[in-house]
Structure 1
Amino acid sequence: MDVHGHRRAFVLAGHGPALLLLHGVACDHTTWDRVIRPLSRDYTVVAPDLLGHGQSAKPRADYTLGGYANGMRDLLSILDIDRATVVGHSFGGGVAMQFAYQYPELTERLVLVAPGGLGPEVSPVIRLATAPGFQQVMGLLTLPGVRHINTAGLRLAHAARLPGTRDVDEIASIYDSFRDRGARAAAGHVLRAVVDRHGQIVTMTDRAYLTESMPLAVIWGAQDPIIPASQARNVEALAPGARIEIIEGSGHFPHRDHPEEFLRIIREFLATTRPSSYDRERLRELLRAGAGRPIRRARAGRRPVAPLTG
């Protein structure tokens, strides 16, 4: 459908409480294709292609976290969905946090999957993508022939399980998507808004205390080469009571390389937590007190932080 004059593509499946699934930079709704159908048996699943990605329009537009959060509010409103559990992967995790910050009254729970915004560290490849000339270089690297050879090489390396190639199959798909000039431009705008040569710029750590009454789960692959799983420790310190799950043998895409474990965690989290209740007066109290006060939570089914490896 069109929203504000721009085409927005999305998958809508199932019935029941709403789950909003948000993908990362240069991905689209297909990143969730191994979990959408199982989740749709019990939930209404909304999996959009964010603006500038997939089959959605790629205009010269606002590609900031706040802009994306606004777009998700508008999409849910059009679909007559009043509240949702928001699940965000990588950059989509940053959008999910921004959405919960801007629209707590619309957010029932928050699930962050290898999210951005919880620490400065990020892969050097991501920092390189923000450098001047990246789009021009990528334009040459995605010319026919060059692109086919490179993507085939990446996928062969992944199939051979060469060292450091855990997520290379997914990276090959992202690289292939950059043959679209609009997709390259949108990815450049997105990354420059959240990353510079020193690492991640945008952080939600200073506002984590506002999630006091928000059921929060964080899922990470122990061998994530893009955003290190060690950042999960930041969540433990900033939001005591959050459920943290580290999946051994998984990389940056746990919903793809370990879909059954991912589904188990999601279903258990949804079954053992109650949707948050928005309290305007409580929000005022938290804002006035600031981040210095301790956060107290009481949440069913909390799991301890698993050891980090890799």
Structure 2
Amino acid sequence: MTDDRIQRVTMPKWGLSMKTGKIVEWFVGEGDTVAGGDDLLDIETDKIAGTLESPVEGLIRRLIAEPGEDLPVGAVLAVVAPEDVPDAEIDAVVEEAKAAIASGALEVGDEPEPQVVDVGGRTISYLTLASEEPAGDPVVLVHGYGGDKNSWLFVQQPLAETGTAIALDLPGHGASSKDVGDGSLAMFADTVKEFLNALGIERAHLVGHSLGGAVAAAVARSAPEKVASLTLLAPVGFGPDADAEYLRGFAAATSRRELKPLVGRLFADQSQVTRQLVDDLLRYKRIDGVDKALSAVLGTLLDADGHQAIDTRSLLADVDVPVTVVWGSADRILPVPDGVELEQVEAGHMLHMEAAGDVVRLIQRRR
């Protein structure tokens, strides 16, 4: 019988499309002691590169995966166990792990498919992930300007391990209808409220990024009974400064050459900007109706002078639900505001991609 003190670090599943991940670089070695949340290694997927944080604590006895290897989701990457566990037992676990990879037994099966629901005459696409016996109010994830439900790929699965996590595409984004009407904040907030009603959700923990943060705050202001808590990630409307050049440039970009340097501003770590990420955004921007939708929403985000036109701080003034505001310390799109009680993480504007572990922990704190 295998010693139950032996722990395995496995290839994570970041998003539904991920089947394998390539080992880029280890930050730890055999004989090192790690704690939960420590950076272990960088992994590159078909969509984006990310850092795997340790899900366990203890002594690293073996590193199985080598830099450059492309391994399936679920493959054992490292073995953690106390020093008094015999080497023979560790070696047996390693051989078992290698055999599982070689046999093809780790191939990813069928995954949950995104669904659609009619909300106010618009088709809204969403993805639900849940644990076997989800408890408590669900977490609903609301993306930012130009984003979609896939931007939560590093966050949604971990949240779903202990409950239900739902990511939706706002109107004008992702696979949802491209009609945004006047593109107003009220339209987006009404859509989210009606979305919750359509799915029979009485109350939810709302997590909003950037524009999605203002949308979540507007929902909490107008329908506080629907909101268990708010977690706002670099929300718009907390200061007068914004990278108007980025917002206008993103709305107008029609080529990879124009788009790639703009996308680079979203991240502190430029290695996150993969060709696939830029290609996916460019493909979205070429869908009929997207240019009109982005232009309409741009008028909601910025005034004629390029200042933020949404005042999210005022929206929250009378909101009586638990609120957590989180910001990336290296955010170039919406710099960290003054005079706001907030949590900072080491990341750029896309903090839920660059510092996913920290973001998940802060969301879990409210559940």
Q: Does 1:216 align with 2:319?
A: no
| Aligned ranges 1:173-252 → 2 under 5 Å | 173-196=280-303, 197-211=305-319, 213-229=320-336, 231=337, 233-236=338-341, 244-248=342-346, 250-252=347-349
Give 5+ residue unaligned stretches, structure 1. Answer: 237-243, 271-310
* Aligned-residue offset at 1:127: 5.3
Q: What CA distance in whole angstroms lies between the structure 2 residues aligned with 1:86 and 1:119?
A: 22
Whether the 8 Å CA contact 2:171–2:180 is kept in 1: the answer is: no
Q: What CA distance in whole angstroms lies between the structure 2 residues aligned with 1:184 and 1:219?
A: 30
Report the counterpart of residue 3 of structure 1 in structure 2: 119
| TM-score normalised by L of structure 1 | 0.70
* Aligned-residue offset at 1:24: 0.4
Q: Looking at CA atoms only, which structure, 1 or 2, has the larger radius of gyration?
A: 2
| More off after superposition, 23-32 vs 61-70 | 61-70
Q: 1:150 to 1:265 in 2, by over 3 A?
A: same
| More off after superposition, 45-54 vs 187-196 | 187-196
Report the counterpart of residue 352 of structure 2 in structure 1: 255
Q: What CA distance in whole angstroms lies between the structure 2 residues aligned with 1:4 and 1:155?
A: 33
Whether the 8 Å CA contact 2:213–2:235 is kept in 1: the answer is: yes
- One-letter amino acid of the counterpart of residue 206, structure 1: S
1:97-145 deviations in Å (ceiling 9; x for gaps): 1111111111111110011011111013245359xxx64xx3xx33xxx
Whether the 8 Å CA contact 2:127–2:149 is kept in 1: the answer is: yes
1:200-244 deviations in Å (ceiling 9; x for gaps): 011022343313x31110111100010001x1x3323xxxxxxx2
| Aligned ranges 1:121-160 → 2 under 5 Å | 121-126=241-246, 128-129=248-249, 135=252, 138=253, 141-142=254-255, 147=256, 154=261
Q: What CA distance in whole angstroms lies between the structure 1 residues aligned with 2:269 and 2:219?
A: 33
* Aligned-residue offset at 1:60: 5.3
| Larger strand percent | 2
| Larger helix percent | 1
Whether the 8 Å CA contact 1:22–1:89 is kept in 2: the answer is: yes
Q: Does 1:38 align with 2:158?
A: yes
Whether the 8 Å CA contact 1:32–1:256 is kept in 2: the answer is: yes
Q: What CA distance in whole angstroms lies between the structure 2 residues aligned with 1:30 and 1:18?
A: 18
SS at match of 1:101: helix
Q: What CA distance in whole angstroms lies between the structure 2 residues aligned with 1:175 and 1:184?
A: 11
Q: 1:157 to 1:28 in 2, by over 3 A?
A: closer
| TM-score normalised by L of structure 2 | 0.60
Q: What CA distance in whole angstroms lies between the structure 1 residues aligned with 2:202 and 2:120?
A: 20
Q: What CA distance in whole angstroms lies between the structure 1 residues aligned with 2:214 and 2:327?
A: 14
Give 5+ residue unaligned stretches, structure 2. Answer: 1-116
Report the counterpart of residue 118 of structure 1 in structure 2: 238
SS at match of 1:193: helix
1:38-84 deviations in Å (ceiling 9; x for gaps): 10122221211001100001125242111111111111111111001
Whether the 8 Å CA contact 2:185–2:215 is kept in 1: the answer is: yes
Runs of 4+ in 1 over 4 A off after TM superposition: 153-158, 163-173
| More off after superposition, 66-75 vs 168-177 | 168-177
* Aligned-residue offset at 1:267: 1.5
Whether the 8 Å CA contact 2:229–2:366 is kept in 1: the answer is: no
Q: 1:87 to 1:60 in 2, by over 3 A?
A: closer
